[in-house]
Structure 1
Amino acid sequence: MAGSPRMQQLLDAGVEVVGSVGLRGLTHRAVDRAAGLPEGSCSAYLRTRLALLTAMTEYVSGRMADDVRALADVINQHPGDDERAVRETLNLFIGWLEHPELLVTRLELGLEGRRQPELAEISTAWDRQLRAIVTDVMIRGEHPEPEERAETLLAAMDGVLTRALREAPDRRREFVERSLQLLIFSLAGR
């Protein structure tokens, strides 16, 4: 994923840059400044903008997939406990929303993937991985039509997270909790 500690530092700085000024502000120099490194450090590791975008897409997708995998492990320990699934998912989403740079970066890189086939491949792999994780949770919980429900749930949760970013910070938790309850209970198929 990130490789060396220096690469990790650069990728974290890239997430900070995109999270604060957007993808248009992502330059090698901006990453160097955000990382507190001498000019030219980022370009020594990632020579082109495409290399930077590709590394960031892999990094962000990997970090978020790890979070979702950990969530699935907890939910799978209690199959069919939809209340717990709501609570654990809420905790993950609120964590992402309290420090939204990672989430914002994933959203921006996902949209950039529509114009950059190399990024689209990574995003497609990320989507397949998430669908597999959530489908497994649905199967273990003995939900009908697990693949279709997983796909719908993921699409809806993307929408909830995107909308939550536009909510005032003090309203996010309430909005996300209400939305997750509606989604999970309606898709549980019980």
Structure 2
Amino acid sequence: MTEPPSKKGAERKGRILESALTVIGRDGLAALSMRSLAAEAGLPLGALSYYFVNKKQLIGEAFDAHAHRELQRVVQTIALIGDAGSAADLAGRLADFVIDGLANDENALVAEYEFLVEASRRPEIARASTAWQQALHAQLANVLGRLGSSEPSTDARLIMATIAGLEVDNLTRDALPRTQSTAIRETLARLIDVLSRAWE
């Protein structure tokens, strides 16, 4: 199996993977099949075999596509803080990140947690998930070190665990209520404030 030889082929494969993420986020990983994907992507069933040998490969590449997109979101979020960023800036940006993920119309966050559950059954996804989490951790720890954390690695794990809890607590297909958005901001502001006091 090789990558599509043309730019058009690569773009089509990208659209297929986006369609796969849509199905997973909307209907669950169990609902993803070559047939359901072909219907979502608007392609003949046979066309998918050019890009994917089987469902196992499809799921692995769909997770990779999701992980790449989410890592870019993290990088962009952190880049907005800048070298002169403060702890309050970090709290606000992280809150924006969580709220944006929960408000995603394509159910990207639901798809992410579908993948994380599947990682408990599939070693290849578990390895990819671990690598992705490590990349997110490294990005966050780097910022925390710049802000003065004496234990940036530990603090990054604490913040990531809090973010995961906030995501799970608010994971819904309905619009996120303003009260919940406020609670997310207050929680992260409190956490970062307490950590920053320890840095001082």
TM-score (norm 1): 0.90
Counterpart for residue 88 of structure 1: 93
Unaligned runs of 5+ in 2: 1-8
Query: Structure 2 residue aligned with 1:170, among 159, 173, 177?
Result: 177
> What is the percent sequence identity of the aligned residues?
27
Counterpart for residue 69 of structure 2: 63
Equivalent residues of 1:164, 1:176 under 8 A apart = no
Letter matched to residue 182 of structure 1 = R
How many residues matched? 188
Q: Distance in 2 between matches of 1:26 and 1:175?
A: 34
Q: Distance in 2 between matches of 1:159 and 1:92?
A: 14
Matching of residues 32-47 of structure 1 within 5 Å:
32-47=38-53
Q: Distance in 2 between matches of 1:186 and 1:108?
A: 32
Equivalent residues of 1:86, 1:184 under 8 A apart = yes
Q: CA deviation at 1:102?
A: 1.5
Letter matched to residue 138 of structure 1 = L
Matching of residues 85-124 of structure 1 within 5 Å:
85-99=90-104, 101-124=107-130
Q: Which runs of 4+ in 1 moved over 3 A?
A: none
- In our comparison, the structure showing a higher alpha carbon Rg is 2
Q: RMSD of the alignment, in Å?
A: 2.0
Change in CA separation of 1:5 and 1:168 when aligned onto 2, cut-off 3 Å: closer
Matching of residues 1-190 of structure 1 within 5 Å:
4-79=10-85, 81-99=86-104, 101-166=107-172, 169-171=176-178, 172-188=180-196, 189=198, 190=200
Letter matched to residue 169 of structure 1 = L
Q: Distance in 2 between matches of 1:110 and 1:41?
A: 28
Unaligned runs of 5+ in 1: none
Q: Is the deviation greater in 110-119 or in 32-41?
A: 32-41
